[in-house]
Amino acid sequence: MQAPELKNLRIFQKLGRVDAKSLESCDQLLLILPPKPATHIFSLLPHGSKLQQVMRKSASGSTPAFTSRLSNKRQTLVVTGTLKKAASSFEQLTLGRKLVAAACGEKAGNMGICVLGFDNIEQATITNNIVAAALAAAFELPTYKSKKSPPTIKSLRLLGADERVDTARTVAEAKGNNLARWLTTMPPNKMDAVKYADLARTMAKENNWSFKRFGSKELSRLGAGAFLAVAQGNDNDSASIVRLRYRPGKKSAKADLGLVGKGIIFDTGGTNLKPFQSMLDMHGDMQGSAVALGTLLAISELKLPIAVDCWLALTENRTGPNAYKSQDVVTAANGKTIQTIHTDAEGRMALADTLVLASRDSPGILFDYATLTGTCVSAITTKYSGVFTNRAVLHPHLKRTGRNCGERVWPFPIGDEFMEDLKSDTADFMQCSPKGAGDHILAASFLAEFVEKDTPWVHMDLSAGDNDGGLGHVGSKFTGFGVRYTMSAILDENLFKANL
């Protein structure tokens, strides 16, 4: 299987005043202004009086309020939206998604983006957030219909943009997010664990990453009994843990950043079988690995000067005569023994051994991503994702990162007191509690037992990875949540450089 085509839309930037010629090049124009823009702003625009009339008919708020056409040769469709000063990143991204959706209701063309009435820094931020929405909408997710859908956007034109508007990071993050959504959307018969590993190998060659696949025999020698317990239900030897390494400098450099992703290609629930509604979208249970891989791609696209290890735990969770069962006892790679309780708690089993391997290399900080628990959704809905860490000092940084980038998170506690609920009479601890309460906290506390060498670690339970109608700038059900977040943690919070 080939990696998806992640082609950039051509982005044209027209600095300074917006003129009639630049407007004439746009089939659609997204116009973003404050709720009560100064009158002189419209004098800076061709068809200013027409646009002012449009705005007068627009209701204030953060939704596309009104559409109209200009009387130029292109009959440019104008979609207006308003943002209050200091609107949050999430509000800006959400407005972008709605504006782009309104503009894409007709034939694809050249889309203009014009942000006026804000200071230069805020204008640059808003413009990039609208661009992020356009790049998400323009990307074609996997489809197997006999009739192909036409493209939604041909190119982007940034009108009246300040010279400080730099879209390089936005484009790189969009590539990572688009890859994550593409992988998550793939039907499970089109991308099994073998094809996924092969795709990672192909991407490694294309991006100059090193690649290693740990198959079941090697994992058995490493004592990875928790991962192999889940994998033993497969009817073939497809499962593996894949390691990818990005080294912009010395090839032997220790990783500044480790990325770990849960890659359950399809989750039946195992012996404790899921009901139909709960199993229907379980091809998306590998999106943690997709986020890890998408983040690695975004880092590589920007050629960031940091060393990164990316680990993908790839398997299915199947039923069958060889599938693991409740009350099995298995030994993980760090020698700790686990009493299995519920076979549908397979994600923490697959991640346990992967975290051991990843943390033994002592990265500066380790992030893992997983669609892990339903209780996290119950706690914070699918609008936020949950975060957990073995460094409580990171909690304000993690929340601030979410606010700044628009992928919002909420921190939860972990620790020994919660492990009391996982006491076992037959092993070091139980895989999960039969009672089920607070399972997101218990799962994260369980995972912390497999982070070695006191490695700083952040676990993201991807509640917001699956949100009907999209979220923020992304309009698809699977949101790719986590790529943009991690890039913000790296570039804005410098978490991999923190003295933790």
Place of tokens 């197997």: 144
Which residues sit opposite 387 in a β-bridge? Answer: 411, 460
Please confirm, yes or no, whether 56 is among the known catalytic residues: no
* CB 485, CB 93: distance < 8 Å: no
Question: Token pair of 199, please?
Answer: 């795709």
Determine the Cα–Cα distance for residues 126 and 245; give it in Å rounded to an integer: 34
Name the nearest CA neighbour of 131 among 105, 116, 153, 148. 153
Determine the Cα–Cα distance for residues 413 and 423; give it in Å rounded to an integer: 18
Residues 6+ apart with CB under 8 A from 278: 269
Determine the Cα–Cα distance for residues 489 and 495; give it in Å rounded to an integer: 6
Place of tokens 């076992």: 424
CA distances from 425 to 17, 337, 417, 422 (A): 73, 11, 17, 10
Question: Token pair of 206, please?
Answer: 């294309």
Place of tokens 């939860």: 412
Query: How crowded is residue 110: how many other Cβ atoms within 10 Å of its Cβ?
Result: 18
φ, ψ for residue 341, nearest 5 deg: -115, -45
Query: Per the residue annotation, which of 50, 195, 274, 400 is the catalytic one?
Result: 274
Crossing angle of helices 439-448/346-360, nearest 10°? Answer: 30
Amino acid at 173: E
Determine the Cα–Cα distance for residues 28 and 8; give it in Å rounded to an integer: 19
CA atoms within 13 A on the CB side of 361: 23
Query: Per the residue annotation, which of 169, 318, 348, 484 is the catalytic one?
Result: 348
Query: How crowded is residue 434: how many other Cβ atoms within 10 Å of its Cβ?
Result: 9
Size of the chain, expressed as the number of residues it contains: 500
Determine the Cα–Cα distance for residues 23 and 46; give it in Å rounded to an integer: 8
Determine the Cα–Cα distance for residues 318 and 283; give it in Å rounded to an integer: 12
Please confirm, yes or no, whether 74 is among the known catalytic residues: no
Place of tokens 């997709």: 290
Crossing angle of helices 120-138/89-103, nearest 10°? Answer: 50
Active-site amino acid positions = 274, 348
